[in-house]
Amino acid sequence: MASKAKLDTTYHDRRLARRLEEDPAFRAEFERQRREVAQIDAVVRQLDELRGEAGMSKAELARAIGKEPSSIRRFFTADVNPELKTVAAVADVLGARVEVVAAKASGTKRAGKKRAPRAAAA
């Protein structure tokens, strides 16, 4: 079996570091996206821990929410941006709920109007 060659990313690492240092707008967007990915990863990890604690296989969980087992395997293992509907369905089956909690005050105001709450479906 052939060994994997290690990919040399030093050029790209140096270029990224230079861009982060020299371009404040790029750095701000990079950090925003990094935080977004970290939050998604944290939610998926928590759901996977709950799945394990419940003793459910990924296939059992998939059947419980009406999804293909392969989509749930990707949900837990791939670098994907899961649909909120799927996150809520997985949480519900595992006896959990999805909440949005305000972060500590950062001193910045959000632009735009507040949305009116959705009416509950009957």
Looking at residue 84, which CATH number applies to its domain?
Answer: 1.10.260
Q: How many domains does the chain have?
A: 1
For 87, the domain range is 21-93
Tell me if 15 is assigned to some domain: no
Three-state DSSP string of 10-42: HHHHHHHHHHHHHCHHHHHHHHHHHHHHHHHHH
- Percent of the chain with pLDDT strictly greater than 70: 82
Dihedral class, residue 107 (left if φ above 0, else alpha if ψ from -120 to 50, else beta): left
Q: Is residue 113 part of a domain?
A: no
3-state secondary structure of 106: coil
**Residue 111, pLDDT score:** 52
Q: How confident is the model at residue 122 (pLDDT cuts 50, 70, 90)?
A: very low
What distance in Å separates the CA atoms of residue 31 and residue 35, rounded to the nearest whole number?
Answer: 6
pLDDT at 55: 96
Residue 40 counted as domain residue: yes
- Does residue 106 form part of some domain? no
Would residue 38 count as lying in a domain? yes
pTM (2 decimals)?
A: 0.71
What is the tens place of the pLDDT at every residue in 39-49?
999 999 999 99
Is 86 among the domain residues? yes
| CA–CA gap between residue 48 and residue 54 (Å, rounded) | 10
> Tokens 């996206």 identify what position?
33
Question: Which tens digit of pLDDT belongs to each residue from 10-43?
Answer: 999 999 999 999 999 999 999 999 999 999 999 9
